[in-house]
Every structure is written in C-alpha cells, then in structure tokens.
Amino acid sequence: MRLFVAAMLSEEMKREITDLMHELKMLGIKGNYVPARNLHLTLAFIGECKEKMKVIDALSGIDVKPFRLAFSEMGVFNQVLWVGLKGNQGLSQAAKDVRGALDAAGISYDRKKFEPHISIIRNVGGDWKKASLGKAEMMAKKISLMKSEEKEGKRVYTELFSI
C-alpha cells in the first residue's frame, strides 16, 4: 500500500486554498486541481510499503507538540503549483521527529529535503502569478499516517493512524 505521513489542514485553511483555486480557474489556469478533501502537508512520503504496523509502531513513539502552519508564498516545481508554509521550529521538529522515527525503524521514505508546502495543481499551465494568496494559519495538533489509493479514477486518502 502507498503511505505518507501528513498534517491535515483545518477547514479554514482548506477554504482559503479552495478560494485561491477558484480564482486560478477564473484566470484560466489549467491543470489537475487537487480536491479540497486531499489537501495536506506531507511530512514524509513513504510510498509503497507492506509493513503498515511497523510504520505505526515507529510513529507511536513520537511526542507530537502542536505546531503552527501559515501561508508564505506560491511557487512551482516539477509542474506542480504549491502554497508554501512559513518555516518554524515546531514544524521543523515535527518533520525531523517523523523522519527520525522512520530511520530508527529502518523504514524507507523519500529523503528529499523537507520543504513545507501544499500541492494544489499538478501539470499546471498559465500565469498563476496574477492570483493572490490569502492569509490563513492554524495549529496542527496531530500527525496522521495516510494511505493513498486510486478508486474509480480518483485519488483517495484514508487516515490509518494518528498521534
């Protein structure tokens, strides 16, 4: 099964991003828009993994302290438009703790440098820089182990475990 560890977004933060995506559509920006229900901040992407319980055991040892999430800017990499999140000690520590727990358990994951962002459009095309990013912030109080699967042609995320 395909797994990742994430902080899920508050309804307010999802609403701000949904408003932004509506504005982008009105500006004629093309691409594959991420459904509001799938918006999240990935702390570690594990990918295909047959050892769900091993991952849960590893994450169970983490003491998650609430951390702040706030929008910073928009950008693109690999044809993905994203909303960046302001870096802060709590957010950095959460990502470090998750990755450290996975390392200690010998669980493989994508080791790219952690750049806090929320993907909003894949295969983006058009001048997205005319859109205005609103302001939203939240306190993330938990992290979740998520399963990603394809159902009827749509990407569906299911929470398997949270701390």
- Residues 148, 157: contact at Cβ < 8 Å? yes
pTM, entire model: 0.95
pLDDT for the residue numbered 152:
94
Is 2-162 CATH 1.10.580.10? Answer: no
Q: Which residues of the chain have pLDDT under 70?
A: none
Calpha distance 101→99 (Å, rounded): 5
Please state the domain extents for the chain. 2-162
Q: What's phi and psi for 74, nearest 5 deg?
A: -115, 155
* DSSP-derived secondary structure for 43-112: EEEEEE-S-HHHHHHHHHT--PPPEEEEEEEEEEETTEEEEEE---HHHHHHHHHHHHHHHHTT-----S
pLDDT for the residue numbered 87:
84
- For the stretch 18-47, pLDDT in tens is 999 999 999 999 999 999 999 999 999 999
- Give the helix/strand (H/E) hosting 13: helix 11-26
Give the SS3 label for residue 8.
strand
For the purposes of burial, counting CB atoms within 10 Å of the CB of 88, is it exposed (0-12), middle (13-18) or buried (19 or more)? middle
Dmax of the chain from CA atoms? Answer: 47
